[in-house]
């Protein structure tokens, strides 16, 4: 049976609840924490460090930390603009990518500092297929782009073998979404020759054996192509980490495989906010809240709402209440804040109902909650060693780990 591990994609050092959830997970027996240099712009790594300060060395030594390298965003983008990194793929205005030797070396130093450790247990190349995406857009032939990405991975493996030799990491691997797409897709990253590249890299550095140990990829009850890669990995004595167990794509639509309770306070807070904004000055706010209430069942999954919240709703709200004086603005903001908390619960509840109805064939043999069915499916796959789950609250930790019983 697979083990649960702590995924830190949206974990921040600035949220005490996140810190406590990491500690609760460790106290409850979680032995592996997965992070990355770009998660919350390094804040996830710092959160892990803060959480671990509470524990004795003998407990810390039992916890394996896996981090990743590849993305150039936020702080790294600022560094790149001042002093460009090597072999950079410019995927979008906000997201560049590199797995060059110099970038790996500098990013590992940054991660070790943020994590407050001298040696990282395992270091993964994070979605190296960004080169493939770029090459496809540039109409580079399939043979040429595969030759080039293999060469880039080989050179990265050489650097990673060097980091093992210098005792800064214990082993390395690759985390790739492209391991989980159909093998005939242009975005598929072939994996059969990775062991050969690792052997060549270890020989180049003078290590007695290669230190390529880990594959991470999306596998869930809807997306099963990655099972082929997982089976290959186990045949080659590699460890398999499964990510996105509850965020699954089907028919080009993303679903959150979870059910949530309906907010029992929602309509109270909705009516309160409508009452205080039912006047000429705040009429735009009143209209917006009414529109949100009418639309709470229209989001495909909770991630769509979160994106809409930060890109559309919050900017509109700020513009709407900026005409108020400071005292009234703070009062209205408190009403809005409480409403939005309950509104998100309602959106999640509506998304869960819709998901359960749409994906009924996938869950026909399970009478539990969607999230329990989805996680139990993965638990029973022998080729998966760890299931990475985001557990941002202590209650989530207890709910997830209770499935081990």
C-beta atoms surrounding 75 within 10 Å: 13
Which tens digits make up the pLDDT trace of 184-233? 999 999 999 999 999 999 999 999 999 999 999 999 999 999 999 999 99
The residue ranges of every structural domain in the chain are 3-257+366-404, 266-358
Which tens digits make up the pLDDT trace of 243-297? 999 999 888 888 999 999 999 999 999 999 999 999 999 999 999 999 999 999 9
Which tens digits make up the pLDDT trace of 368-404? 999 999 999 999 999 999 999 999 889 999 999 999 8
What pLDDT score does 335 carry?
94
Q: Which residues of 152-182 are buried (b: 16+ CB within 10 A; e: fewer)?
A: bbbbbbbbbbbbbeeebbbbbbbbbbbbbbe
Which tens digits make up the pLDDT trace of 46-101? 999 999 999 999 999 999 999 999 999 999 999 999 999 999 999 999 999 999 99
**pLDDT for residue 103 is more than 60:** yes
What pLDDT score does 155 carry?
98
What pLDDT score does 323 carry?
87
Say which CATH topology domain 3-257+366-404 has.
TIM Barrel (3.20.20)
What pLDDT score does 366 carry?
83
Q: What is the mean pLDDT of residues 300-329?
A: 90
- pTM (two decimals): 0.91
**pLDDT for residue 324 is more than 90:** no
Q: Phi then psi for 7, rounded to 5 degrees?
A: -95, 135
What pLDDT score does 1 carry?
56
> Confidence band (pLDDT; 50, 70, 90) for 325?
confident
């Amino acid at each position: 049976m697979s083990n649960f591990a702590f995924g830190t994609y949206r974990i921040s050092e600035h949220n005490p609840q996140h810190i406590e959830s990491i500690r609760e997970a460790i106290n409850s027996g979680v032995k592996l924490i997965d992070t990355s240099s770009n998660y919350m712009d390094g804040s996830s790594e710092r959160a892990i460090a803060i959480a671990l300060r509470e524990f004795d060395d003998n407990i810390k030594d039992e916890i394996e930390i896996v981090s990743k390298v590849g993305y150039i965003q936020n702080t790294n983008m600022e560094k790149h603009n001042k002093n460009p990194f090597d072999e950079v793929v410019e995927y979008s205005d906000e997201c560049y990518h590199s797995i060059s030797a110099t970038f790996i070396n500098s990013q590992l130093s940054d991660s070790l500092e943020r994590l407050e450790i001298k040696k990282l247990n395992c270091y993964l190349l994070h979605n190296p297929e960004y080169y493939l995406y770029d090459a496809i857009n540039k109409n580079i032939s399939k043979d040429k782009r595969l030759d080039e990405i293999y060469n880039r991975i080989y050179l990265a493996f050489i650097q990673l073998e060097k980091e093992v030799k210098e005792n800064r990491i214990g082993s390395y691997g690759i985390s790739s979404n492209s391991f989980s797409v159909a093998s005939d897709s242009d975005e598929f990253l072939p994996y059969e020759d990775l062991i050969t590249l690792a052997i060549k890299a270890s020989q180049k550095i003078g290590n007695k054996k290669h230190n390529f140990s880990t594959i991470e990829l999306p596998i869930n009850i809807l997306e099963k192509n990655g099972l082929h890669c997982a089976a290959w990995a186990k045949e080659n004595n590699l460890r398999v980490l499964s990510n996105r167990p509850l965020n699954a794509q089907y028919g080009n639509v993303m679903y959150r495989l979870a059910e949530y309770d309906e907010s029992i306070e929602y309509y109270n807070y909705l009516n309160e906010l409508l009452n205080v904004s039912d006047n000429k000055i705040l009429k735009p706010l009143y209209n917006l809240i009414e529109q949100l209430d009418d639309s709470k069942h229209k989001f495909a999954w909770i991630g769509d709402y979160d994106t809409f919240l930060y890109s559309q709703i919050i900017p509109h709200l700020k513009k709407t209440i900026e005409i108020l004086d400071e005292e009234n603005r703070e009062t209205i903001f408190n009403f809005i804040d409480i409403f939005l908390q309950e509104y998100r619960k309602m959106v999640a509840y509506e998304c869960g109902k819709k998901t359960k109805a749409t994906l009924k064939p996938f869950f026909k043999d399970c009478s539990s909650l969607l999230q329990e069915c989805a996680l139990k499916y993965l638990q029973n796959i022998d080729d998966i060693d760890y299931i990475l789950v985001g557990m941002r609250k202590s209650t989530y930790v207890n709910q997830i780990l209770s499935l081990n019983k």
